[in-house]
């Protein structure tokens, strides 16, 4: 039987730009959810389940909505994916569950799985309905470094099994990129913090403003906890490394998104000429955000459109919303008048490599660099036995998330190089299961 528990959610300052963004997929009404749920065919060997990295039993949770069992529906989702509340908003469902729905084969509108998932989880996660019961406390203590989706999923899974967990997060808020870096038209920071509070309500302790390696020594973590999980994500935005880059008017994409979401003093003047350098989903998010705020946004990408790593449907949305796209151009300098950015100088490029040819200046007031994030190699080196691959990703056993250190596990962007929230959740959950097995083995 479900009970009600309210979780304390930290307040955010008002006046933030992200408050101007309407939700792009608002909560369904009960009638709309019932009608949509009744369209599901409850397929045998449903392809939507196979397409979900966390393997949510989609037909099962949808059927529970159709029969009015909302608590049961939420339980079905959360048992596979503790962050089903945020995944319902931020998952690229077009290329996952919704893209796999059988209705697509018949030219029919696929089931709105993400919106139904949000409908099912809303009351539990934000309303304090308790549908998951934690087991009694058992021996074992696990420290988690970083408070993003991988650590939250790992810690929540462990806590439900009775294991003591402590998350150390350097930032002021938990949630990692869910709180700081998701485009606000997909999910607000406030909603991300609601989900963090939900995970805390499962018995997870979250300590924010704690820098592991500075405030808490790595040796002490390894000696006082039975296992350590690294959910450290990626480092700061990569730089263009061209002349003129340093100074005002040039900002990394995740830093920009964070300011839109959290900084009440940050404004984007209407008509701002904004160039976003990059071709991935973060570049597209930043350009769409700026366009929605009234800027004239252009994505500058060094290869052809069909080579962009961002999802095609996201590129289409951006173009439909008025974002311009300039391809096969490579930045060679930021042009300034005094301190003020006035243009980005670009050279023609083929397959991403600048070619000889006339350089041109594209007028700009703001340049957003969205070419990836640095890795945290130095930090990882503090953990003995933990190694990186050639692309500076933490090496783990993919089945367990265990690193080269027998008691250190890892998951999320620091391991996969930067995938979706749902991938981080799956990796955190699977590492938790491996930690539980190891704790049981040790008795």
Residues that bind ligand SF4 (CB under 6 A): 40-43, 46-48, 58-59, 101-103, 111, 113
Task: Count other C-beta atoms under 10 Å from residue 161's C-beta.
Answer: 21
Kindly tell me which of 50 and 133 has the beta carbon lying closer to ligand SF4.
50
Distance in Å, CB of 61 to ligand SF4, minimum:
10
Distance in Å, CB of 131 to ligand SF4, minimum:
22
Kindly tell me which of 87 and 240 has the beta carbon lying closer to ligand SF4.
87
Distance in Å, CB of 116 to ligand SF4, minimum:
9
Q: Which two tokens stand for residue 28?
A: 């369904």
Contacts within 8 Å (CB) and 24+ apart, 384-392 = 386/230, 386/410, 391/417
User: Is 271 buried (19+), middle (13-18) or exposed (0-12) by CB count in 10 A?
Assistant: exposed
Kindly tell me which of 47 and 162 has the beta carbon lying closer to ligand SF4.
47
Kindly tell me which of 113 and 367 has the beta carbon lying closer to ligand SF4.
113
User: Is 313 buried (19+), middle (13-18) or exposed (0-12) by CB count in 10 A?
Assistant: middle
Distance in Å, CB of 103 to ligand SF4, minimum:
6
Distance in Å, CB of 123 to ligand SF4, minimum:
21
Kindly tell me which of 48 and 287 has the beta carbon lying closer to ligand SF4.
48
Kindly tell me which of 101 and 230 has the beta carbon lying closer to ligand SF4.
101
Q: Which two tokens stand for residue 191?
A: 């909603």
Kindly tell me which of 43 and 381 has the beta carbon lying closer to ligand SF4.
43
Distance in Å, CB of 92 to ligand SF4, minimum:
16
Kindly tell me which of 113 and 325 has the beta carbon lying closer to ligand SF4.
113
Distance in Å, CB of 98 to ligand SF4, minimum:
8
Distance in Å, CB of 82 to ligand SF4, minimum:
21
- In DSSP terms, which residues pair with 4 in a beta bridge? 129
């Amino acid at each position: 039987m479900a009970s009600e528990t309210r979780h304390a959610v930290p307040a955010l300052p008002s006046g933030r730009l992200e408050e101007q963004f309407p939700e792009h997929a608002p909560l369904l009404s009960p009638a709309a959810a019932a009608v949509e749920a009744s369209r599901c065919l409850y397929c045998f060997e449903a392809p939507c389940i196979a397409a979900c990295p966390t393997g949510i039993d989609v037909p099962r949770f949808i059927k529970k909505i159709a029969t009015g069992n909302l608590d049961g529906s939420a339980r079905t989702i959360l048992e596979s994916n503790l962050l089903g509340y945020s995944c319902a908003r931020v998952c690229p469902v077009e290329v996952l569950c919704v893209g796999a729905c059988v209705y697509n084969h018949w030219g029919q509108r696929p089931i709105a799985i993400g919106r139904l998932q949000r409908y099912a989880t809303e009351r539990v996660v934000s309303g304090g309905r308790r549908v998951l019961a934690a087991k009694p406390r058992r021996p074992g203590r696990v420290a988690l470094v970083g408070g993003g989706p991988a650590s939250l999923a790992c810690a929540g899974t462990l806590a439900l099994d009775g294991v003591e967990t402590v998350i150390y997060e350097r930032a002021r808020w938990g949630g990692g990129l869910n709180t700081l870096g998701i485009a606000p038209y997909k999910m607000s920071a406030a909603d991300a913090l609601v989900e963090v509070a939900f995970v805390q309500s499962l018995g997870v302790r979250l300590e924010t403003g704690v820098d592991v390696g500075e405030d808490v020594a790595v040796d002490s973590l390894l000696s006082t906890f039975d296992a350590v999980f690294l959910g450290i994500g990626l480092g700061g935005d990569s730089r263009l490394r061209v002349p003129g880059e340093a100074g005002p008017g040039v900002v990394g994409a995740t830093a920009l998104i964070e300011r839109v979401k959290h900084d009440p003093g940050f404004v984007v003047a209407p008509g701002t000429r904004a160039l976003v350098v990059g071709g991935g989903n973060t570049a597209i998010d930043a350009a769409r955000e700026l366009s929605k705020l009234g800027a004239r946004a252009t994505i500058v990408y060094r290869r052809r459109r069909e080579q962009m790593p961002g999802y095609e449907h996201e590129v289409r949305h951006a173009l439909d919303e008025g974002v311009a796209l300039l391809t096969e151009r490579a930045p060679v300098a930021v042009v300034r008048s005094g301190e003020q950015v006035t243009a980005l100088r670009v050279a023609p490029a083929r397959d991403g490599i600048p070619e000889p040819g006339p350089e041109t200046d594209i007028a700009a007031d703001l340049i957003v660099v969205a070419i990836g994030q640095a890795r945290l190699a130095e930090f990882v080196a503090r953990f003995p036995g933990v190694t990186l691959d050639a692309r500076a990703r933490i090496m783990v056993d993919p089945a367990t998330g265990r690193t080269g250190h027998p008691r250190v596990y890892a998951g999320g962007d620091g391991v996969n190089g930067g995938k979706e929230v749902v991938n981080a959740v799956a990796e955190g959950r699977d590492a938790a299961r491996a930690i539980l097995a190891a704790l049981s083995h040790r008795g």
